[in-house]
Homo-oligomer: A and B are copies of this chain.
Amino acid sequence: MNQPIQQKILDDILLKRDITDVSKATIRQCAAIANELEDASGESFVRLEIGVPGIAACQVGVDAQKHALDSGIASIYPNIGGLPELKTNASRFLKAFLDVDINAECIVPTVGSMQACFNLLLECSQLTPEKDTILYINPGFPPHVRQSKVLNIKYEQFDIYNYRDERLRDKLEEYFSKGNIAALVYSNPNNPTWVCLTEHELQIVGECATKYDVVVLEDLAYMCMDFRSDKSRPFEPPFQPTVAHYTDNYVLMSSGSKMFSYAGERIAIVAFSPKLFSREYPELRKRYGMGRMGDNYIFTYLYVASSGTSHSAQYALAAMMKAAVDGEYNFVKVVRTYGERAKVSKAIFERHGFHVVYDKDIDRNIGDGFFYTIGYGEMSNHELLSDLLRCGVAAITLNNTGSNQPGIRVCVSQLTTRMHMKMLDDRLALFEQLQATKSQPSVNT
């Protein structure tokens, strides 16, 4: 690619796709725009927009799933509460890597963490009449906010950028004290910024959740992937930090998509705090004839959402979690490659004048993992993404993730080879040239 794609070509694609502002394009729309620009330019793009695994699926899972299919389970409805083998191994898995005690009963498989969160939001919004609002810690995974919008659930959100450490307590108190917050949602490590809440911050979250009776929905899609310390040894510290150590008002979401590169089969687990699982909510009883949060999650919400989760994929996840717990499959070691890709690509961005936007966990540099955030001076989201697309780089903007900072999210999963790094380097050089051209007075106005 020797010169940027013409602005008009990009504009035409946006017009055709009915997208008025490229900075508001969703992940899937960005992917589609990039596909069209690839066709139009004849050049492959550097794909930083979508978090596909970028590693082969864990073979332990593939083997177990095929074995399950051979055993005839394709004809049998899965138990909506989950395959006992999966529930038991997930319980051991959470003990091994989070050091939390959650019995098998409280663990339920879902069609990815996406389905998990969708139904948790719905249930949390129906627990207590006056608690009708979801609070999101941003930046976050855009569909999580979209879920509330689709479901007509009220929501609030704030950008964590200026609210780290004790300031987080003030901010949570500000929202929680109003009495209308049903649940708090965040991911840790964070998508898109790779911010990792510290133990102290998680303690703050837990304390506030207990004080104001708010349910914490903690998305652990990138569990153990803060590679600044080695969390790969089952049953040994350091463990993945989690709010589960600081409150009983938690629900954890743990997806097989990234940990085991099993995104295609849409399989995850939800783990309820045992107290929350068996907690009676009069409003649920009135509405559905059952009162317990866990029973309703399974028999009210998941039942009507999809009648459970792929039977064979449950066998796959059970086997993968078992292998991880038994020390036979080191998933952390396998995914550590994402950290290496982040380190190399981040340096390339910085060499071309970009900077990391969310750069610190209070006093430590952010870790290298699946995602990071990149800005270019004060350049707006719109201009930054437009110019990157014109130079053959696809990403999503930070405003899409609820951030107030200008910049893009970089996902390293598709930077699988040196060739991709070289391409990134070349494209960012082209981007720099484009900026230089734009700052010159035009010779032909």
Which residues of A are interface residues toward B (Cβ below 8 A)? 18-20, 24, 26, 28-29, 50, 52-53, 55-57, 61-62, 65-66, 69-70, 72-78, 80, 111-112, 114-115, 118, 122, 143, 146-147, 149-152, 257, 261-266, 287-291, 299-301, 303-313, 316
* A6, B69: Cα distance in complex, Å: 41
Residue ID in chain B nearest A122 by CB atoms: B150
Which 9 residue pairs spanning A and B have beta carbons closest together?
Answer: A264-B311, A57-B74, A57-B75, A111-B306, A115-B306, A75-B261, A114-B307, A310-B310, A53-B75
Residues of the B chain whose Cβ atoms lie less than 8 Å from the Cβ of A18: 290-291
Contact across chains for B77 and A305 when beta carbons are under 8 A apart: no
* A151, B152: Cα distance in complex, Å: 9
Q: How far is the CB of A140 from chain B (nearest CB, A)?
A: 13
Q: How far is the CB of A113 from chain B (nearest CB, A)?
A: 9
* A265, B72: Cα distance in complex, Å: 11
Contact across chains for A264 and B78 when beta carbons are under 8 A apart: yes
Contact across chains for B150 and A304 when beta carbons are under 8 A apart: yes
Contact across chains for B310 and A313 when beta carbons are under 8 A apart: yes
Residues of the B chain whose Cβ atoms lie less than 8 Å from the Cβ of A308: 266
**Which of A75, A111, A151, A290 has the most C-beta atoms of chain B within 10 angstroms of its own C-beta?**
A75
Contact across chains for B76 and A307 when beta carbons are under 8 A apart: no
Contact across chains for B305 and A118 when beta carbons are under 8 A apart: yes
Q: Known: A56-B72, A75-B261, A291-B18. Is A114-B65 also a contact (CB below 8 A)? A: no
Number of copies of chain A assembled together: 2
Q: How far is the CB of A260 from chain B (nearest CB, A)?
A: 9
**Which of A50, A290, A310 has the most C-beta atoms of chain B within 10 angstroms of its own C-beta?**
A310
Residue ID in chain B nearest A258 by CB atoms: B75
* A84, B138: Cα distance in complex, Å: 35
Residue ID in chain B nearest A307 by CB atoms: B114
* A19, B57: Cα distance in complex, Å: 44
Contact across chains for A52 and B69 when beta carbons are under 8 A apart: no
| Apart from A77-B257, A147-B304: 13 A-B pairs, beta carbons within 8 A | A28-B303, A53-B75, A65-B312, A66-B66, A74-B261, A75-B262, A75-B264, A76-B263, A76-B264, A77-B264, A78-B266, A265-B310, A265-B312
**Which of A147, A152, A257, A306 has the most C-beta atoms of chain B within 10 angstroms of its own C-beta?**
A306
Q: How far is the CB of A72 from chain B (nearest CB, A)?
A: 6
Contact across chains for B28 and A316 when beta carbons are under 8 A apart: no
Contact across chains for B75 and A311 when beta carbons are under 8 A apart: no
Contact across chains for B289 and A24 when beta carbons are under 8 A apart: yes
Q: How far is the CB of A287 from chain B (nearest CB, A)?
A: 8
Contact across chains for A69 and B74 when beta carbons are under 8 A apart: no
Contact across chains for A115 and B77 when beta carbons are under 8 A apart: no
Q: Known: A78-B264, A312-B264. Is A72-B52 also a contact (CB below 8 A)? A: no
* A303, B300: Cα distance in complex, Å: 21
Residues of the B chain whose Cβ atoms lie less than 8 Å from the Cβ of A265: 74, 310-312
Candidates B118, B262, B264; contact of A304 at CB < 8 Å: B118
Give 5 CB contacts A-B under 8 Å.
A26-B299, A52-B77, A65-B74, A266-B309, A310-B310
**Which of A24, A26, A287, A301 has the most C-beta atoms of chain B within 10 angstroms of its own C-beta?**
A26
